[in-house]
Structure 1
């Protein structure tokens, strides 16, 4: 192999700013954007898989608890409330993963909106300063989705249904499958904890879940699939 005519000097200004030359060359720049898009898409896909894995755990746990809770009349009703606690833990894990996933997804959406969409139909970019936005995010990556919004999104997609099933099964377990003719409030007691306390606590928790599911209305996360109000198409 032939020896290079010049040794590589990492301190040389030309070498330090070699990537900056791509900004002035259209061919090099578009090639670089293609590689960047594949890299960010790979990261987003990996974190999307982690989110799906947590969802699978929550669904399997819910199904297992329902099967066990209704497999015999002597099963305690509070096992379903323990399931609510465990699903809440999974919701917390998935919320954190979703916020990290949105870092990569937001970059993918910037490239899709301003590079690939404009290449297919050159009506103009969505964000005139998209290069500055992407450059700043690459230099200083940060979580963009507020935690309340992340919780709300995961509740809307999966966890509100799981909570509703668990709470509904708990009510059925207290009424239809109750071993004693006592009222709903009395049957809800757990050990020395009065049934009224348990019932109020469950009701308040479900109310909080419902509020978080429908609020907030304004969204900061980019790229979330949702149906258009006038058509059935996806954006």
Structure 2
């Protein structure tokens, strides 16, 4: 006979165990699909940056403007990827929660420890679904994982283009002249570029510190989110 637990919940019977097994498979599938979508937006960023590099360095007379314009596309892809990451993080967290509290205890002890009420937390997440991280945290994580290198290559290529084409720049004024876009002076364009890089860097650092602080205060080291 199944013994009742402290909260009145009986132990899982074989049918319920089967349902949870299928649920785990479904969550793994959903996390895999959304992980693939993350790779897609990263690929879009890499490809568009590659096209901009090809155009900009096609000849010494080619304009560096494509490297500036591609930054707008990279920001758009970053926002789209951060949004997708928030969805992916929900499915990933549920999979990890099931692995931590369902699969591992079953393999090690044969006891799911339902008295710890981990199943209630999972049930509440299904009843009241929500994002486990905010948008800025998601943006910061994607910058740290992928977009830092994309932005670094974009910035280095842009500065390199200004310095070497059509001839090697010898003065700061010459660099400013090459950076000018129509009526917009070059020093202002470079200032915006510096703020662009600095802004994403600040978000990445803040996100890393926020994640570290959250990990210290989390009740369980492998919790949801």
Q: Shorter-chain TM-score category? A: 0.7 to 0.9
Which structure 2 residues correspond to residues 178-217 of structure 1 after superposition, within 5 A? 178-179=166-167, 182-216=173-207, 217=209
Matched, 1:67 2:65: no
Deviation, 1:183, is: 2.3
Q: What is the rounded CA distance, in whole Å, between the counterparts of 2:88 and 2:162 in structure 1?
A: 40
Q: What is the rounded CA distance, in whole Å, between the counterparts of 1:169 and 1:23 in structure 2?
A: 63
Deviation, 1:30, is: 1.9
Matched, 1:140 2:132: no
What is residue 218 of structure 1 aligned with on the other side?
A: 210
Larger-gyration structure (1/2): 1
What is residue 131 of structure 1 aligned with on the other side?
A: 119
Q: Deviations over 1:78-130 (max 9, x none)?
A: 210111111111001101100011111111111011111222334987x9331
Greater mean alpha carbon deviation, residues 104-113 or residues 209-218: 209-218
Q: What is the rounded CA distance, in whole Å, between the counterparts of 1:45 and 1:23 in structure 2?
A: 33
Within the candidate set 104, 128, 134, 1:117 is matched to 104
Q: What is the rounded CA distance, in whole Å, between the counterparts of 2:150 and 2:123 in structure 1?
A: 40
Deviation, 1:134, is: 0.7
Larger RCO, structure (CA 8 Å, separation 6 or more): 2
Structure 2 residue runs of 5 or longer lacking an equivalent are 1-8, 216-225
Deviation, 1:171, is: 0.2
Q: What is the rounded CA distance, in whole Å, between the counterparts of 2:147 and 2:76 in structure 1?
A: 11
Matched, 1:49 2:36: yes
Matched, 1:172 2:152: no
Deviation, 1:206, is: 0.5
C-alpha contact (below 8 Å) 2:34/2:88 kept by paired residues: yes
Matched, 1:27 2:14: yes
What is residue 3 of structure 1 aligned with on the other side?
A: none
Q: As a proportion of its length, which structure holds more helix?
A: 2
Within the candidate set 39, 49, 59, 2:26 is matched to 39
Give the TM-score of the pair, scaled to structure 2: 0.81
CA RMSD of aligned residues (A): 2.2
Deviation, 1:75, is: 1.3
